[in-house]
Copies of this chain bind each other. A is one copy, B any other.
Amino acid sequence: MKNQQIIIDQLPTGKLSAQHYRLQDSDIGHPGPGEILVRTEAFLVAAGSRAGLQGSASYAGAPTTGIVMGGTGVGIVVESSDAGFAPGDKVVCSTGWQRYSMHAANALQKIPAEIDAIHYLGPLGVNGLTAYFGLLKVGQPEAGETVMVSAAAGSVGHLVGQMAKIRGCQVIGIAGQDHKCELLVDQLGFDAAVNYKQGDYRSALKEATPNGVDVYFDNTGGFVLGSALFRLNVNGRIACCGVVSQYDTDAPEPGPKGIPGLLVNKRIRMQGFLVFDYLALYAAARKEISGWLDSGQLTSMVDEVKGIESAPAAFVDLLAGGNVGTRVVLVE
């Protein structure tokens, strides 16, 4: 039984390319006491992973070469030396970008049989929980308020906007392509969507937010964050989730103009968060999100890419805005 792995071959200087990775075959052993061997069915390709290849200080860890690219995946137990897991169990864990991975029991979570495993990479996984806690605990929108979200057709953004609609808000999504904007409004119920690459973006944003913005859910930083600052109302809130506009470079831009001046004038609260801080609340959140999925109030968009060897190119493409919804690689 051979493993297949995507290895970080070189750290990028400037933009990431697929050539920074290599595909490697390796041996995979049998589980030692308490260990479980998992065969990956699908893994997540997530923009936040790019931060782990950049600079030094990041929640994603320090950049290193020669290791398997990290990431969350879902899979099947193929061999177990732990009483809690048996072959055939469906699990979610840090598979990384590889066909097989070995885990301690406490690093695995079983997926209930009645739930589509892919949901654990989307609305019931890190992306969904990030949307949920970032919006509700950090952004704290009230019904009737206006919520703006960037990278709105992305893995987190498309869920944020729908959750804000469920909570009775007006929702404006920002994306970089017209077809994404159309999809947000036509299929996901956003009230408006604005393409930030269009020439008259700022006036289009103004028109789309006649009552200003109360909560801005920031997945991008940079230019779009700057535009949100000008539309935020007094006592507005910014939930700082990610900085995708600044990951794929070794020279991140300075922060937008108006920081901290506009924060003072408008008493804005800008707060960074990581989903892991809400671990104790995951189960309750998953229950609520499952209810929304079951009732059809929440739609999970999944962007499937086939074959482990496709992962590096799929990641580079995602950083350039190529995905709609949650991008997953099906290992096959």
Contacts and interface: CB of A to CB of B under 8 A. Distances in A.
Interface of A: 51, 57-59, 218, 221, 225, 238, 240-243, 246, 252-274, 277
Given A243-B260, A260-B218, A265 B59 contact: yes
A252 B261 contact: yes
A270 B260 contact: yes
A225 B58 CA distance: 20
| Prevailing SS type, chain A contact patch | loop
B260 A221 contact: yes
Given A270-B269, A270-B270, A241 B264 contact: yes
A265 B240 CA distance: 10
A264 B252 contact: no
Copies per assembly: 2
B59 A261 contact: no
Given A255-B255, A259-B255, A277 B269 contact: no
Contact of A264 (B256, B266, B274): B274
A50 to B, nearest CB: 12
Contacts of A272: 260, 262-269
23 contacts: A57-B265, A58-B265, A221-B260, A238-B260, A240-B260, A240-B263, A241-B264, A242-B264, A243-B260, A246-B261, A254-B254, A254-B255, A254-B257, A255-B255, A255-B257, A256-B259, A260-B272, A263-B272, A264-B272, A264-B273, A266-B272, A267-B272, A270-B271
A261 B259 CA distance: 14
A53 to B, nearest CB: 14
B252 A255 contact: no
A55 B241 CA distance: 30
A163 B252 CA distance: 37
Contacts of A58: 265
Nearest to A57: B265
A269 B238 CA distance: 10
A269 B273 CA distance: 9
Contacts of A246: 261
Nearest to A274: B267
Nearest to A229: B255
Nearest to A220: B260
A263 B225 CA distance: 13
A264 B247 CA distance: 13
A332 to B, nearest CB: 34
A255 to B, nearest CB: 3
A68 to B, nearest CB: 23
A127 to B, nearest CB: 15
Contacts of A254: 253-257, 259
Nearest to A254: B254
Nearest to A54: B261
Given A57-B265, A255-B256, A265-B274, 10 more contacts: A221-B260, A240-B263, A243-B264, A246-B261, A252-B257, A253-B254, A255-B259, A265-B272, A266-B272, A267-B273
